[in-house]
């Protein structure tokens, strides 16, 4: 009897130490018959799978995890016939719905979830315009050939476009300082900008954002860069 009591006590302690899932990621991948979907997070610069589900006929999926605070996660698709594909989204407690297709897994993704995801999509929408223009300029560089005048003009436009892209990202982060999106954008999009811009973003963050996951990561990153510049 004593052994049975100890056995159930061990199970109770183990279950108490494991947090219950508070994030559900659900949806479907139209056209997917066979493959595996993973829910990934970046942990200490390493991508770690935190849940997975094998698809065998039914394209509807559901993945779960526990979030202590908002975090960017990835829905990864692995099939036998292709390289891994990933959809990035800003997750928060509750339910996130991701519907997409096998043919255009990343580009057809429709995500309904947190308010942070809406802000990230708003940012990405403008960013895609910068990226499209950059592709046009790259094409023009090749077409310029040995025409140095035309090439210099295109290179100047490329430089100005990059500056505008950085300025947009910095301004978006400053405008959305009350959101965890702000330090995330600083880390993911303008990490190689002048440190004064990163400092400016960090210094306007309210305390609860500065103490968030990406707020703390931004603080560490700035400190490391300052140390590198002043050994």
- pLDDT tier, 18 (very low <50, low <70, confident <90, very high otherwise): low
pLDDT of residue 230: 80
Check whether 8 has a pLDDT greater than 70: no
- pLDDT tier, 145 (very low <50, low <70, confident <90, very high otherwise): confident
Q: Are 39 and 27 in contact (CB under 8 A)?
A: no
Strand runs labelled E in 11-81: 23-30, 34-43, 46-56, 60-65, 71-78
In angstroms, rounded to a whole number, what is the distance separating the alpha carbons of residues 17 and 51? Answer: 18
Check whether 5 has a pLDDT greater than 80: no
Check whether 45 has a pLDDT greater than 90: no
Q: Lowest mean pLDDT of 16-20, 23-27, 57-61, 103-107, name the range.
A: 16-20
Pairing of strands 85-91, 71-78: antiparallel
Model confidence pLDDT, tens digit, residues 82-140: 899 999 999 999 999 999 999 999 999 999 999 999 999 999 999 999 999 999 999 99
Local structure of residue 110 (DSSP, 8 states): E
pLDDT of residue 11: 42
- pLDDT tier, 193 (very low <50, low <70, confident <90, very high otherwise): confident
Which tokens hold the place of 122?
Answer: 């708003």
Check whether 229 has a pLDDT greater than 90: no
Q: Which residues of 157-174 are buried (b: 16+ CB within 10 A; e: fewer)?
A: bbeebeeebbebbbebbb
In angstroms, rounded to a whole number, what is the distance separating the alpha carbons of residues 117 and 95? Answer: 12
Q: Does domain 14-113 fall into CATH 2.60.40.180?
A: yes
Q: What is the mean pLDDT of the chain?
A: 91
pLDDT of residue 144: 85
Q: Indicate the domain borders of the chain.
A: 14-113, 118-229
In angstroms, rounded to a whole number, what is the distance separating the alpha carbons of residues 214 and 206? Answer: 13
Which tokens hold the place of 127?
Answer: 């960013």
pLDDT of residue 12: 40
In angstroms, rounded to a whole number, what is the distance separating the alpha carbons of residues 126 and 115? Answer: 18
Q: Are 70 and 88 in contact (CB under 8 A)?
A: no
Q: Within 10 A of 62 (CB to CB), how many other CB atoms are there?
A: 12
Residues 110, 113, 118, 123, CA torsion sign:
negative
């Amino acid at each position: 009897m004593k052994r049975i009591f100890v056995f159930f006590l061990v199970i109770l302690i183990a279950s108490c130490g494991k947090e219950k899932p508070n994030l559900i990621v659900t949806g479907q991948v139209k056209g997917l018959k066979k493959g595996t979907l993973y829910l990934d997070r970046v942990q200490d610069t390493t991508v770690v799978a935190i849940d997975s589900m094998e698809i065998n006929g039914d394209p509807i999926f559901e993945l779960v995890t526990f979030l202590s605070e908002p975090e960017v996660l990835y829905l990864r698709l692995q099939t036998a016939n292709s390289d891994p594909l990933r959809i990035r989204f800003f997750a928060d407690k509750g339910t996130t719905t991701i519907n997409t297709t096998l043919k255009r897994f990343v580009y057809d993704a429709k995500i309904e979830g947190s308010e942070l995801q809406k802000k990230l999509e708003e940012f990405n929408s403008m960013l895609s315009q910068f990226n499209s223009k950059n592709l046009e300029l790259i094409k023009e560089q090749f077409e310029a050939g040995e025409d140095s005048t035309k090439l210099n003009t295109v290179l100047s436009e490329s430089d100005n476009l990059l500056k505008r892209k950085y300025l947009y990202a910095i301004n978006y982060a400053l405008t959305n300082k009350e959101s965890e999106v702000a330090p995330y954008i600083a880390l993911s999009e303008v990490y190689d900008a002048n440190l004064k811009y990163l400092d400016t973003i960090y210094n306007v963050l309210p305390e609860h954002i500065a103490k968030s996951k990406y707020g703390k990561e931004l603080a560490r990153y700035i400190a490391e860069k300052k140390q590198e510049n002043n050994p």
